[in-house]
Amino acid sequence: MTSRTHTATLRPEDRGTIDSREGRGAHDSPDFQFSRMESLLRGRRLRRLTVDGVDAVFVRDPVLVRRILVSESKKFGKGELFRKARNLSRVGMLSQDEAMHRHYRRLANPYLRSSAVDGYLPYMRDVVREAASCWRAGDAVDIQSEMCRVACAIAVGTLIPGMAPETTKALSERLTRLAWEMIRKPLYGKAAAARAARPGANRQLSRARQEFRELLAACVAGLPDSPDPAGGYLSALLADSDEQGNRLLTAEEVCDEAVMMLTSATVTTASVMSWALHVLSRDPLAEERLLKDLVQRRSGGTDGGHGAPSYTLRFLMEVLRLYPPVWISCRKALSDVTLGDHDLPAGTNVVFSSYLMHRDPVSYPDPHRFDPDRWLSIHPSNVEASFIPFGIGSKGCIGELFAWQELEIILDVVTQEWKLGTEPGRQVRTAPETTLHPRRLLLIPQPR
């Protein structure tokens, strides 16, 4: 930590680029070079760089990231790179307007709080059981597409209740196609540039989005004009109104907001669960300990003891540390700010990567090793912003509680029924695209 009290301007010669093909390392994918990022930032709290032609300042120091996201969050808005996500919705929680953002967080909260999520658990289990029952012993399963299907069915069934079974099924299927296309879309680097240059490259994504929105719009049109508690999140969006009773969102904007919420929930869950099952297929000791803990948790016990997190929770925390789905983020300075010992003018894009912070050896010794027991001596609240799989502060993931419960339910049901193994000789590559996901993950199920 620097002790300098004066401020400075980042020099032009400090600039680097992270969409280069140079210097690929052992942990890299062909789409985005993490070792390149680590090399550019080694020993620096901040460094100027270019991401897809956008000038930015990359922040590696978790103390400074916490200031950006928490203590000085009002000084930072959504960054230039954030526009890559705004093709889903320009209202509600993705609005640039902070008051609107907070309003729609509060509107969604009743459907994501603890009491609501507890009521979803039986439905979650049923969805996972139905999906896993279709697997066949010895036949390779595309785990990521399956986890995508599971996450989408859970999201639709819990957040949009009360639909006819055939409508719920159709919505789930169309959301699955949309989420699958979104997961694999590169956002940064030369892969994104190459895709953008290809005519019709986004045609499948556009078609999937249109097909899902068309069915969702039909569902919105069928909702009652007055608020219906049984209508869930979709009904709440449609019924939202001002003090004079005027609706705040058009039917089209309701669809946009619902698409944003549903895809955000599903693409991240599918990616995390894919990594979790990948780890279990490669680590027999972790699998043995997880199975034992899940049995104890089903009976109301835990192996943590003395207030320590259970092994299941530690396992999931370690998966999220190594494979955070939202692996890079961007904010923009709304006014002149001082960050660390540097002055940043208004309009500066500030970038930080949870992937890099989660693998910083200062915070996590032997950072690339999968070690759930490291969380026996580390508490997330004591590591500043070096563990932010769900973000932190006022813009942190509103569905975090929902996600923790869902991840545990999927783990529990799948591992009760199946032992998953890997195909001999198959290597799984990391794909940092819309989410950080396995490039292709085929696992072979065998009955327990």
Detail the residues annotated as belonging to a binding site: 397
Q: Establish how many alpha carbons lie within 13 A of residue 133's alpha carbon, considering only the half-sphere containing its beta carbon.
A: 6
Cα–Cα distance measured from residue 295 to residue 212, given in angstroms and rounded to the nearest whole number: 38
The answer to whether the CB of 96 falls within 8 A of the CB of 417 is no
152's tokens:
């989408």
Place of tokens 């509103």: 398
What is the SS3 assignment for 117?
helix
406's tokens:
């869902």
Cα–Cα distance measured from residue 193 to residue 19, given in angstroms and rounded to the nearest whole number: 10
116's tokens:
């609501």
Which is nearest to 434 in space by CA: 164, 124, 194, 85? Answer: 85
51's tokens:
């991401």
109's tokens:
């909260």
6's tokens:
């004066």
Cα–Cα distance measured from residue 280 to residue 122, given in angstroms and rounded to the nearest whole number: 24
Quick one: residue 372, left, alpha or beta (phi over 0 = left, psi -120 to 50 = alpha)? alpha
Cα–Cα distance measured from residue 227 to residue 422, given in angstroms and rounded to the nearest whole number: 49
Please enumerate, by residue number, every residue annotated as part of a binding site for heme: 397
Compute CA distances 403 → 100, 104, 264, 412, whole Å: 24, 19, 11, 14
Return contacts of 36-43, CB within 8 angstroms, 24+ apart: 37/353, 37/356, 38/356, 40/16, 41/356
What is the SS3 assignment for 195?
helix
**Element spanning 288, H or E:** helix 284-298
Residues pairing with 247 in the sheet: 241
**Element spanning 279, H or E:** helix 251-282
Compute CA distances 365 → 62, 146, 285, 359, 378, whole Å: 16, 34, 21, 9, 11
Length of the chain in residues, anyone?
Answer: 448
Please list, in sequence order, all residues whose beta carbon lies within 8 angstroms of the beta carbon of residue 101, skipping any fewer than 6 positions away: 92, 93, 94, 95, 395
